[in-house]
Amino acid sequence: MKITLVMAGDEEGGLEKHVVELAHGLQQHDHNVTVIAHEKYHDRLHTNFIAVDLSKSRRNPFVLYQLYKAIKGSSADIVHVHGNKAAAMVASVMSFVQVHTVATLHSRKKNTKMFKNYEAVITVSPNAAEVLDHPNKVVILNGIDLPKALPSIAKHQPPVVLTIGRLVPVKGFDILIEAWKEISGAELWIVGDGFEQEKLQSLIASHQLQNQIKLLGHRTDIYQLLQQASLFVMSSHYEGCPYTMVEALLCKVPMISTAVGAMTMVLPEKYLCPPNDVQALHRLIEQTLQNLPEVQQDFESVFQFAEQHLVLDGMIDNTVKVYQSLLSA
């Protein structure tokens, strides 16, 4: 098939990672792939690429005309758009292009009206699917290539609880730091950068937790850090299907999380707590750290699920089935 992927904006997050990996996976499965996106992503995409700056206003007539020309010129069988903004922009020009259309909703959103005219909509979590009123919607969890085998190393002592994400409010790291008060015998490592760094550092200092909580900044050795961790934690207010969850489970690191996004589908209920609840998160962290051998046993079936369903080939196969259903219809 000739498949054109469209993403708007110029950020760095799960959506952008998803599009890059989907493009390469589709190409490895012998499909002809074109990506329409901001120029900044050109170097990391080894596919056909058309640069259009969709970070500008979704109503900008010049940008919309460029988008129309790019889609028309790609001669696609399927146009697959990612995220609300891209869905809105492509929807405004799709009547001028006779092509099958698919959209992916990457997280739970209040406004999903821009998806109504797409032939099929993929969501990356059951939570996102709940709010979407569409007759042809399907949940496909994110997947990655299995991590390469790394030299075996001992778990860090004292035990490390690891979390990874942009330092922004939605990740709930302020709630996590508050919940860490009176947690003993373990360290919390927070990996990532963002505009909340100073605020979080001040919060750590105000609770005198500098010896227990470390802000590690941006890191490129994620798998090595996961090897050292005894537990992964996610404190987000909302999520889709975060790649950090996928990476942790494929590295066989047990995980606790707020009950958001794909975690409600993948993790055992006893390892979930309500979002934005300091006391509930504190209790979950404390109880889990006290029973790490039992936790590891509880997660054996979760790790097996991850190896079957949270890998790139599975994600590609399920996405291609959606494309084929439209073409055969």
The position carrying tokens 């537990």 is 231
Share of the chain above pLDDT 90, in %: 82
At 217, which amino acid appears?
G
Architecture per CATH, 2-145+311-328: 3-Layer(aba) Sandwich (3.40)
Domain ranges across the chain: 2-145+311-328, 160-309
2-145+311-328 matches 160-309 in fold? yes
Mean pLDDT, rounded, for 172-200: 97
| pLDDT tens digits, 105-156 | 988 788 899 999 999 999 988 888 888 999 999 999 999 888 777 777 889 9
Q: What is the pLDDT of residue 125?
A: 86
Residue pLDDT, tens place only, 160-171: 999 999 999 999
Question: What is the model's pTM?
Answer: 0.81
Element (H, E) at 104: strand 100-105
Taking residues 171-191, what's their average pLDDT? 97
Query: What's the rounded mean pLDDT across residues 91-116?
Result: 91
Radius of gyration of the chain (CA): 21
Mean pLDDT throughout 86-98? Answer: 93
Handedness of CA 265, 266, 269, 272 (dihedral sign): negative
| Phi, psi values for residue 204, rounded to 5° | -60, -45
**Residue 303 pLDDT exceeds 90:** yes
Q: What is the pLDDT of residue 150?
A: 72
Q: Residue 301: pLDDT above 90?
A: yes
Q: pLDDT tens digits, residue range 55-67? A: 999 999 999 999 9
**CATH for the 160-309 domain, from 3.40.50.2300, 3.30.830.10, 3.40.50.2000, 3.90.1150.10:** 3.40.50.2000
Q: How many residues does the chain have?
A: 329
Residue 166, token pair as written in the block: 């942009």
